[in-house]
Structure 1
Amino acid sequence: MIMFDSPFMMLPGITPQEYSYLQSATTGFTELQLKRFLMIYSSKRRNPDDMVLYCILGFFVPGLPRFLLNQIGMGILYFFTYGLCGIGTIIDLVNHKNLAFEYNQRMVFESLQMIKMGTIL
């Protein structure tokens, strides 16, 4: 399948790394399973482009990006240390694509589990 004809291309801000990860995770899926997977995954996924905004807002609301990535412990730490004195927030801003990709990998796993368990009919 050509990359631009793929249903994964409808995901906003998809990176080549995420695209190849999704391709390998959904090999052997029927069209219906793929459609269900995309429905679940797209609702849980974080757009790497939006993560830049969340990281910038992290200077005003310390820990915001970490809370949005379900890293509650780190979010609390960032909140009480003002983003580790701003250094952690700057590092998050630089690594925003990696943060989003790691979170999205967990969401791919969760979505696959829901599809395999037949939770969504």
Structure 2
Amino acid sequence: MINIYELMPEIMGEEQIYISNLLKDYDDKKAQQFINIYRARRKDPQTILLVTLVGFLGIAGIQRFLTDQIGLGILYLLTCGICFIGTILDLVNYKRIAFEYNQKQAAQIAFMLKGM
């Protein structure tokens, strides 16, 4: 059994459970491949929080661009984070935004490794 905490001590909570479930059927070599790719693609929630705070300086939406939500990023950029309401909501939900992005990335990587 792969101990995800030892392999990726930087992840916690829901993300740790999700990654553990993805890796439960992987051998050590495939799990290591997954982790190497995942680390490169993963967005840290604190990074999302910091770039969301930049939205209060007039450059709103960077967090949406980082998480591949280009349409919302443009909308936030052009409307000052929809008059700062969207930016405030993103400050409250920054962990969820990062987790949803990371979840999609993990699923893509798992799908890619199944083909190998």
TM-score under structure 1 length normalisation? 0.87
Q: Which runs of 5+ in 1 are unaligned?
A: none
Indicate the RMSD between aligned Cα atoms, in angstroms.
Answer: 1.7
TM-score under structure 2 length normalisation? 0.91
Q: In the TM superposition, what is the alpha-carbon distance from 1:47 to its structure 2 partner?
A: 0.7
Query: What residue is the counterpart of 2:21 in the other structure?
Result: 24
Q: In the TM superposition, what is the alpha-carbon distance from 1:8 to its structure 2 partner?
A: 2.4
Q: What is the aligned-residue identity percentage?
A: 38
Q: Which runs of 5+ in 2 are unaligned?
A: none
Query: What residue is the counterpart of 1:8 in the other structure?
Result: 8
Q: Can you list the C-alpha shifts for 1:49-93, whole angstroms capped at 9, x where unaligned?
A: 221111101223111000000000000111111100001001101
Query: What residue is the counterpart of 1:79 in the other structure?
Result: 77
Residue correspondence of structure 1 range 95-114 to structure 2 within 5 A:
95-114=93-112
Q: Is the 8 A contact 2:52 2:62 kept in 1?
A: yes
Query: What residue is the counterpart of 2:63 in the other structure?
Result: 65
Q: In the TM superposition, what is the alpha-carbon distance from 1:16 to its structure 2 partner?
A: 1.3
Aligned length: 115
